[in-house]
Structures are given as structure tokens and as C-alpha cells.
Chains A and B, each alone.
Chain A
Amino acid sequence: MTPEYEFHQRDRDIHPPAFTPVYKTSALRSPRVPLWSLQNSLSEVTGPAFSRDELGPLDNDLIQNYARDGKPIGEQTIVHGRVLDGNDRPVRNTLVEVWQANAGGRYRHRNDSYIAPIDPNFGGCGRMLTDDNGYYFFRTVKPGAYPFRNRVNSWRPAHIHFSVFGSGFAQRLITQMYFEGDPLIPHDSIIATIPDKSAAERLTAKLDLNASLPLECLAYRFDIVLRGSRQTLFENRLHGG
């Protein structure tokens, strides 16, 4: 059976290609044979769903969800926005997961040996489901910049990693969000993997003073767009179905 809908062909021009020597690690981790293009079957238009009872009440509060004997150090920050699809429709009840370094630029990860200290009160990960409007929000501390091994003096701008599902497995996306005004953005080798500069701008969250909590918390706005879909009813009729 042809699914009743299928996702629009992914516009590969707005994504980084697999092989990007500016980000050296990609060289040996990038297929050389072009991807085989598949028309969507049920295997691509379906995907996992998650429910609120699978998440804990503090899962979207990175200020509290690993606090031991105090609060984490750093700028208290709200990040919020909507998950939409290419048709400008909200993506409802979809799982959004985030992870990040602490305010000093250090990850709570066994493979991170940067000299900035671990924050005993900060884990660095959170998760939430979008609501009926596709809206999500979480509270955290703004992550710090940190160096990484690419060239001898390569630094990552402050960023938060995002993982989003959508309704079908073909919409699955991992990306990174940056902060408006960060002077490291034009120097970053990971952002530079994206050939389309307007695409890179869409990864930069805008300061949202109206959403900030006075005397408490700054806010940034970051909307995410997953692939849109089209009904296949017309095609089915064309085929006499």
C-alpha cells in the first residue's frame, strides 16, 4: 500500500554534506557513494510516539534536574519555541531532547577532559514533549564556549544540541542551536559545514526579552522545522485506486 501521505523530498542543499574537510572528523565518517533515494513506504512515514508519563516532572528543567546541594552556576536561561513542519503545521506531542556543556564549557561526560570544572549541580540534559501547538520550553544555564580538536585553535560557540522526532522516522533530526550575537559563530567549523548561510542563521536563537522573567531569567526563541508532507490521495486516484 502507498501511505496516505509522504514526506516532501529532503532539500539536501540546506543540510551539510557528509564530507566536509573543514570539520576534519567527517572525512573518514562520510559515505562516498551517493545515497540511494527511496520513495516513502510505511517504514519511513511511521515512527515512535512517546507519552507524558514516560517523562519526569523536572526533565525539562536543567537548573533543577541534577541539583545536589545548590543551583548550577551560570546565566539562568529559558529556551522556547515551536516545532513546525514544512507545511507550517505544529508538530504535536513530539519528543524534544537537549544536551549541553555547563557554563564553563565542560560536559558531564567521561570523554571530556577540558580544564573547565564539572559543575556538581548540573547534568546538562533535558527532554520534553511539544504541546498541541507544537510549543516546547525548558530552563537551563547558558552553556560556555569550549575548544575542540580540529585545528589547533578551534573553539565551539555556545550551543545546545537538539534531537527531535516528528511523526515519521524520516523526519528524525539532530541539530545544534546557537545564541544570537556570539562572536565565535563566524569562526565555527561545524556551522561552516553548512553551505547555505541563511540555513546557518536559522540555527541561531534570538534573544526574546518579552519572554524573559524579570529579575530571574533571560529567554531565547528557537523554532524548529521538520520536513513537511503531502497527501497521496490524488496520486492514488491517478493510479485508479
Chain B
Amino acid sequence: MSSDLYLPETPSQTAGPYVHIGLIPNQAGFDIFDNNFGGDIAGPDVAGERIVIEGRIFDASGHVARDVLVETWQANAAGRYNHPADRQDKALDRAFRGWARTGTDFETGVYRINTIKPGAVAGRRGRKTMAPHISFWIAARGINIALATRMYFGDEAAANASDPVLNIIEQPERRQTLIAARTARDGQTVYTFDIFLGGARETVFFDV
């Protein structure tokens, strides 16, 4: 709530059509920084099961959005975040920051992240453990304030069934919009997580 006691947050504005220049310049077609942030975050020293997450982002008409920035944030394989506020008694993986950034492809609309499967994380006091999940944050032209959602894993049916976040979503059918199916392809484990900005299959988005 706005009041004189606190500074009001700076308002959000759309990331616009040229978000790639600033945040993923390689995709914008030019090479400016020596070190680029990206979507391949499972380096050789990172512990955990290697997975690929990929999908497309659809607008409310069903059209594939090909200019979307996608960021993800996740715990390590043991279920601990690489952040001082995480005091869980679990191993920290110093080789794993847990953050990825990529964009949907200008031609195919597919985004792809190479990471590791996170472990389960403690929930708030009095609540159950959270099932393994990855926080998504997407920004683009036409999105006035970035959208937050979570991806859960299709092969974690039991953990998902008791997840305290999935269970606050009133309609079980809508919980399914957050669950990515696991498949195998060319020796890789692939989770497909499509996001629907609107329409009949609209993804559940969170005010976090």
C-alpha cells in the first residue's frame, strides 16, 4: 500500500520488441560483451540430472510469440538455492547459480534451457514441502509487467499432489498448465513447458 512510510516501487514498463539488445544481445544479431548470460547453466561441475526444458509461448489467439524473454530461477539438485536467505541444511553447489536467461527463437518460437532437475524445497512454516519446481519470469512486447509462473515436473505426481502452491489453485484442471511432460529424445531428457498468455488454456500466473 502506498504511504509516506515507504518508497513506492518504480512502475514497470514493457520490455518492448528489442529486449534482446539489452539482455540477450547475441540473439539480436550482434556481439558486444565478452561474457554473455544464457540458457545453458548445467556446466560440467554442476551436480544433478541433466535436463532440457523447452516450449513455446502462445498469445490469446493461439499465435506463437517469437520475441519473448524467458528467465528461470531454481534450486540445485539437493533442493537448496544459491542465496544467503536459504538456511536449509542441504549442500550448496557453488558451481550452480540457478538462473537462466534465453529468448523464444525468432523463427520457430521455441525457447530452450539446459539445466539440472532441482530438488524439493522446504515450504513456508506449517506447510508441506514444495515439489521440485522452477520459477519462470517472462517479459516481452505487449507484456506491461512481467509474468511470473512455475514449472513443475510431470514425473513427480506424488510430490505435485501435495505441493502447497499447486493446491491453492482452485481448479485442478488449471494446475495442469504448470506441469511439464517428460520425454526422452536423442539420449536427452526433455521437459516440454508451453506457456499460454491467454485463451482457453491460459497458464496460471502468480502475484508473488
Contact = CB atoms under 8 A, between A and B. Distances in A.
Contact of B7 (A9, A86, A123): A86
Contacts of B204: 33, 36
Interface string A19-54: 010010111111111011111111111111100001
Q: How large is the interface on B (under 10, 10 to 19, 20 to 34, 35 or more residues)?
A: 35 or more
Contacts of A25: 141-142
B95 interface: no
B98 interface: yes
Interface in B98-148: 98-99, 106, 121-126, 130, 133, 135, 137, 139-148
Contacts of B33: 56, 59, 127
Contact of B35 (A4, A56, A111, A174): A56
Contacts of B61: 28
B139 to A, nearest CB: 5
B85 A45 contact: yes
Nearest to A6: B124
A55 interface: yes
Given A48-B98, A107-B18, A174-B15, A1 B197 contact: no
Nearest to A7: B208
A5 B144 CA distance: 27
A237 to B, nearest CB: 12
Given A56-B33, A59-B33, A97-B23, A28 B198 contact: yes
Given A29-B143, A112-B18, A174 B205 contact: no
Contacts, number: 281
B189 interface: no
Contacts of A191: 13
B153 to A, nearest CB: 14
B28 A110 contact: yes
A74 interface: no
Interface stretch (B44-52, B65-73, B154-162, B179-187): B65-73
A167 B208 CA distance: 14
B173 interface: no
Interface of A: 1-5, 8-18, 20, 23, 25-33, 35-49, 54-56, 59, 65-66, 84-88, 97-99, 101, 107-112, 123-125, 127, 161, 163, 167-170, 172-176, 190-191, 193-194, 196, 199-200, 202-203, 224-228, 236, 239, 241
Interface of B: 1-2, 6-23, 25, 28-30, 32-35, 59-61, 63, 65, 67, 71, 73, 75, 81-83, 85-88, 97-99, 106, 121-126, 130, 133, 135, 137, 139-148, 150, 165, 168-169, 174, 197-198, 202-208
18 contacts: A4-B85, A16-B11, A29-B198, A30-B198, A36-B205, A42-B121, A46-B81, A46-B82, A56-B33, A86-B6, A110-B29, A125-B25, A163-B15, A167-B85, A172-B71, A173-B12, A176-B14, A202-B10
